Amino acid sequence: MRVTITGSSGLIGSALVRSLRADGHEVVRLIRREPTRSDEARWSPADGCVEAASLDGADAVVHLAGAGIGDRPWTKAYKRKIRDSRLTGTRTIAEAIATASRRPPVLVCGSAIGYYGDTDGREVDEKAPAGRGFLAALVRDWEAAAAPAREAGVRVVHPRTGVVLTRDGGLLGSTLPLFRLGLGGRLGDGDQWTSWISIHDQVAALRFLIENEIAGPVNLTAPNPVTNEDYTRALGRVLNRPTRVTVPKVALRTALRDLADEGPLISQRVVPRRLEEAGFRFAHEDVDSALRAVL
């Protein structure tokens, strides 16, 4: 296959590029700077421009670009940056695909389980309505921004990703040094549900969505979400370290601002109903095996 990818330097994008190339597929990386390599092509979301040759005849486009959601505290300015980067980038890609002379047959357009808001311990799948809050509104508009490609007859898939377990970043990577020192612990009361997926299964699921006739929202989470307390204990078992520390809610809210209540303190119990019904097989269904594999 020939696959065009935005966000190829991010945690998920870089892992996807490695996986595709390892199997002999051609990858075209859309970047914002001037290309310096043969596998790079330029796009400029702010200008609504995408190098036409990068899309013409591609077998798939995977759009993962956007400002990091959990990278820093949510000030008003940064929330605006998160929203603008996703809506503008998605519209740019979707419109470029719609007008390509040889349209790619599928657009896998990144999304997030933030769509469901706080599920308060209730198990939800793709049939659940949108929740409340900044992320729920963002995801709703983010997915709608892909309409030009969908209206042009392109199969559009929205992988709603949960917490991706990788040692290279994200929730696990950023807290791993503390846990290795025995200074890790639960967040708040630890009762909030975490819907996670290993980086291996995340990449495998993205490739599954490229290759199989699935459209619309698909939850990319492991079948067995866990509470933050259970996740913390599992990480302690794998590292053979104590996990007695508790990070108070007030400390998280002071440090992370609005992100605290839509990130580490939110309860999201999301299951991958459509992915399993389509026949996808998870390599890591429980958090212990996922953490062992990642670490």
**pLDDT, tens digit, for every residue of 238-270?**
999 999 989 888 887 777 777 777 777 789 999
Residue 49 parent element (H or E): strand 49-50
**Exposure class string for 114-152: b at 16+ Cβ within 10 A, else e:** bbbbbbeeeebbbebeebebbbbbbbeebbebbebbbeb
pLDDT score for 24 = 97
Is the Cβ–Cβ distance between 158 and 109 less than 8 Å? Answer: yes
Q: Which residues pair with 175 in a beta bridge?
A: none
- Tokens standing for residue 135: 């992320």
Reduced to 3 states, what is the DSSP secondary structure of residue 249? helix
pLDDT score for 96 = 97
- Nearest one of 162, 274, 151 to 209, comparing CA atoms: 274
Average pLDDT of every residue of the chain: 94
Res 277 pLDDT > 80: yes
Domain map (residue ranges) of the chain: 2-164+198-220+271-282
Over the stretch 178-224, which tens digit does the pLDDT of each residue have? 999 998 999 999 999 999 999 999 999 999 999 999 999 999 999 99
pLDDT score for 259 = 73
CATH code, 2-164+198-220+271-282? 3.40.50.720
Res 171 pLDDT > 90: no
Q: What percentage of the chain exceeds 70 in pLDDT?
A: 100
Task: With 0.85 as the threshold, say if the pTM is over it.
Answer: yes
Gap between the Cα atoms of 261 and 265, Å rounded: 5
Res 17 pLDDT > 90: yes
Token pair 């309505």 in the structure block, residue: 129
